[in-house]
Amino acid sequence: MELSYQANHFPIPSSLFINPNKNFFVLDHVKYKYPTKSNVLHHHSTSRNTSSIFRQNKLSSSALYTSSHNSVISEEGNQENIMSNTAGQVIRCKAAVAWEAGKPLVIEEVEVAPPQKMEVRLKILYTSLCHTDIYFWEAKGQNSVFPRILGHEAAGIVESVGEGVTELAPGDHVLPVFTGECKNCAHCKSEESNMCSLLRINTDRGVMIHDEKSRFSINGKPIYHFVGTSTFSEYTVVHVGCVAKINPLAPLDKVCVLSCGISTGLGATLNVAKPTKGSSVAVFGLGAVGLAAAEGARIAGASRIIGIDLNASRFELAKKFGVTEFVNPKDYSKPVQEVIAEMTDGGVDRSVECTGHIDAMISAFECVHDGWGVAVLVGVPHKEAVFKTHPMNLLNERTLKGTFFGNYKPRSDLPSVVEKYMNKELELEKFITHQLPFSEINKAFDLMLKGEGLRCIIHMDH
């Protein structure tokens, strides 16, 4: 039996099927269980839609609380997975396709093939925009791979798993990550590295590793992947090693920002720069990544946190992140590294660069104190950028480092970063300045290009 209904305060799902002989119903290709005594669940942000549907159809809604689209959590917190009825099938869904460099994304109906060996298919619920997406969409300083589905900062739920996947099951709450962790290579076995040999970030690859094919298509023509995540789609296929399983109680509309920018900035300071208590830290670029780096400096007990940005409107925002002083290089006729050296009696103890601009990278290195200063590069550089400094700067016992994803191993470490948010040791709300429905994803690009706000959460179900 198929029921139709009027939607008031929630989006209209594409389909609702109720079979009176079964203990579940299907909404938007996903099965939900009817409540029983043993599956009375914790209320969760996504429960609204389901309980509203129950009210509208005069079914009992009082005991129904779903934790997610296809999993339920008992009062003891045990998650019960329900097999997805779309497993093994091609899913048709909406995706924002970048057809050409710099042209607005187009929301298209795409076909998403089932996950193959060691792959999982995710239902993306929230995604946000990071500056790395902009670089590869503009493709001015990066290689051009089109048509492509961009997006790498997101949160979702496992819809189905491919052959050989044992660590994840349908219903798991997850964060996809642009760099992976196979757990078997020398890097994954090293405590120092997160540069997995198999799954490290590869911005030029537009296909899956298993068979070098794309899982996305329109009328049989492939649409390419981006950094193994492609989250600007209602469904995406990701290698299991690029998926972190997280606490199912974590609100996905908040923790999605941990899947790239915030963990990257935080980890760049806490795991790589490692400032000591009372030290001075310079942060170049006060977007979400830089402000997360500043947050790391505050958590580490730095006493001076100097924020450097060309966009003066960032300074007001940055005050909430523990930045104590501000420098706009445009206000000075001399190089900003000299300005910082004068402010700090010879240089800062640590610096973290989060701009992607080569001049800022060089300044970030040259502004650290000799003898002990450490500079960490985080920004993604132009493909032809060359880092130039006098070797004497290194001989004078300064250290230059760089990092992807703040040195966190996505599968092993990210769940504990989510716990930091759950324990209120880390605030994410202040990074989230805008919210938009998926249909208006191009507005999120405009906001970032104008340097307005920090992170914009894109709601896939709107």
Q: Mind telling me the catalytic residues?
A: 130-132, 152-153, 182, 185, 188, 196, 200, 260, 455
Q: Which does 379 bind (CB under 5 to 8 A by kind): Zn ion, ligand NAD, none?
A: ligand NAD
Distance in angstroms (rounded) separating the CA atoms of residues 205 and 192: 26
Measured from the CB atom, the residue of 347 and 379 that comes closer to ligand NAD is: 379
Measured from the CB atom, the residue of 165 and 260 that comes closer to Zn ion is: 260
Task: State residue 242 phi and psi, 5-degree precision.
Answer: -110, 25
In the bound state, the residue with its beta carbon closest to Zn ion is 130
Q: Is 230 in the site for Zn ion (CB under 5 A)?
A: no
Which residues contribute to the site for ligand NAD (CB under 6 A)? 130-132, 135, 260-261, 264, 284-290, 308-311, 314, 329, 354-357, 359-360, 378-380, 403-405, 448, 451
Sign for the pseudo-dihedral over CA of 256, 13, 218, 114: positive
Q: Which of 120, 165, 260, 375 binds Zn ion (CB under 5 A)?
A: 260
CB of 428 to ligand NAD, least distance (A): 14
Residue type, 225: H
Q: Which does 337 bind (CB under 5 to 8 A by kind): ligand NAD, Zn ion, none?
A: none
CB of 198 to Zn ion, least distance (A): 20
Q: Which does 451 bind (CB under 5 to 8 A by kind): ligand NAD, Zn ion, none?
A: ligand NAD
CB of 353 to ligand NAD, least distance (A): 8
Distance in angstroms (rounded) separating the CA atoms of residues 52 and 46: 11
| β strands within 99-197, DSSP E | 106-112, 119-128, 153-161, 173-176
Q: Is 375 in the site for Zn ion (CB under 5 A)?
A: no
> Beta strands 455-459 and 432-437: pairing type?
parallel
Q: Which does 378 bind (CB under 5 to 8 A by kind): ligand NAD, Zn ion, none?
A: ligand NAD
Q: Which of residues 405-444 bind Zn ion (CB under 5 A)?
A: none
Q: Which does 354 bind (CB under 5 to 8 A by kind): Zn ion, ligand NAD, none?
A: ligand NAD
Measured from the CB atom, the residue of 157 and 199 that comes closer to ligand NAD is: 199
352 in Cβ contact with 273 (< 8 Å)? yes
DSSP letter for 198, please: T
CB of 356 to ligand NAD, least distance (A): 3
Measured from the CB atom, the residue of 25 and 226 that comes closer to ligand NAD is: 226
Distance in angstroms (rounded) separating the CA atoms of residues 224 and 280: 43
In the bound state, the residue with its beta carbon closest to ligand NAD is 287
Q: Which of residues 101-140 bind Zn ion (CB under 5 A)?
A: 130, 132
228 in Cβ contact with 238 (< 8 Å)? yes
Residue-by-residue DSSP string for 15-83? -EEE-TTSSEEEETTEEEEPP-GGG-----TTHHHHHHHHHHTT---TT---SSSSEEE-TT--EEE--
CB of 444 to Zn ion, least distance (A): 13
- Collapsing DSSP states into helix, strand and coil, what is residue 11? coil
Beginning with the edge strand found earlier in the chain, give each strand of the sheet holding 16-18 in spatial order: 16-18, 24-27, 30-33
Measured from the CB atom, the residue of 112 and 292 that comes closer to Zn ion is: 292
Distance in angstroms (rounded) separating the CA atoms of residues 393 and 346: 13
75 in Cβ contact with 111 (< 8 Å)? no
Q: Which does 309 bind (CB under 5 to 8 A by kind): ligand NAD, Zn ion, none?
A: ligand NAD
Measured from the CB atom, the residue of 16 and 130 that comes closer to Zn ion is: 130
Where along the sequence are the contacts to Zn ion (CB under 5 A)? Answer: 130, 132, 260
